[in-house]
Structure 1
C-alpha cells in the first residue's frame, strides 16, 4: 500500500526529474530508500553527454550493488518518476533490489510522446514485470503522472 512517505519520495523523484530537465536531460529522477526509510541514493538522467545508458535507475542498481548487502537491497524500495525501461529493470533484477514505486508508466510515456509528435523510445516500453517477473511494483499515480507529463512536454518543446 502507498502511504504518505511513498508520496513524499515520489515527489522528490519529480523534483529530480525537474533538475534533469533544467540541465538539458530527459526528465527522469529516482530515489533509493532503505528498509528503515532512509534515502540512500538519488539521481536524475545524465544522458545529455551522449551516453543514453546514464539513467538514474541504472545508477541506483550499480550503487546498491557496490554499497549494500543482498539483504539490504532486497528490503529497499526504488522510487522513480517514470517506470523503468527494460535496461534499468534488468539491472534492478540482477542486483536484487526490492519494490519499485513509479509516478508514471512506460505506457503513459509512449502515449505522451505520440501526442507530442515525438519519436518513441529506442527500446520497447515493456512493463517492469515483463522483465523481472514477480517483483513488487506499484504505479502509476495520476497526480504525479500529470506533473511528469508536463516535464516531458517541456523537454520536447526544448528539442524543437
Structure 2
C-alpha cells in the first residue's frame, strides 16, 4: 500500500519528536497514536535517559490506549513511529490490540548503523515487528526519512562523530 500525504505528515511529526528527545538528552525516538478519523490522540518521545529503559513512546501509547480506548477503537488506530518497535513495544502493541504500525526506519537499519559506528548493541535481540507479533499490519521503512533518522541515531549512539 502506498503512503498518503497524511501518513508522511504523521511520520514527519514522529521524526520531529525524535529530534526533540535527542535535544533533551534522550535517545531519538518519537511516536504518535492516530484514530480512524485522523485525530492525534497521543504523542510522546523516549524518556529512557532517567534510567528506566522501558520508557519508550510506543510502550506509553499501548498503556494509554488500553486505559482510554475501547478494543474496537484501538483496533482502528494507527501508530506512527520514527523507528520500528522493539520486541517489548511490539508485544505491548499486539497485547492491547492496536491497529497498523507505520515506521520511518527499521530495527535492522538501526542495528546495521550501530555496528558501523561500533556502538553498544541493545540488551535484547533485534527482531522485526512481524517476528514478535506476526498478525500486526506494518508499513516501513520509509526511504524519505532514512538519512535524517540515521543522523539523529549517529548523534545519539556513535562513539565518535562521523
Structures share fold, TM-score greater than 0.5: yes
Asked if 1:111 is matched to 2:109, the reply is no
Residue 56 of structure 2: aligned partner:
55
| CA distance in 1: counterparts of 2:30 and 2:121, whole angstroms | 19
What is the correspondence of 1:46-85 to structure 2 with a 5 Å cutoff? 46-85=47-86
Contact 2:26 2:47 in 1 (8 A): yes
| CA distance in 2: counterparts of 1:159 and 1:131, whole angstroms | 33
TM-score by length of 2: 0.95
Which stretches of structure 1, 4 residues or longer, exceed 3 Å deviation after superposition? 157-160
Residue 96 of structure 2: aligned partner:
95
Unpaired runs of 5+ residues, structure 1, are none
Please report the RMSD computed on the Cα atoms of aligned residues, expressed in angstroms: 1.3
1:150–1:89 Cα change, 3 Å: same
What is the correspondence of 1:1-160 to structure 2 with a 5 Å cutoff? 1=1, 2-157=3-158
Deviation of 1:145 (Å):
1.8
| CA distance in 2: counterparts of 1:142 and 1:122, whole angstroms | 27
Aligned residues: 160
| CA distance in 1: counterparts of 2:159 and 2:78, whole angstroms | 32
Deviation of 1:158 (Å):
8.0
SS class of match (2:75): helix
| CA distance in 1: counterparts of 2:34 and 2:146, whole angstroms | 20
Unpaired runs of 5+ residues, structure 2, are none
| CA distance in 2: counterparts of 1:87 and 1:157, whole angstroms | 24
| CA distance in 2: counterparts of 1:159 and 1:150, whole angstroms | 13
Deviation of 1:156 (Å):
2.4
1:158–1:38 Cα change, 3 Å: farther
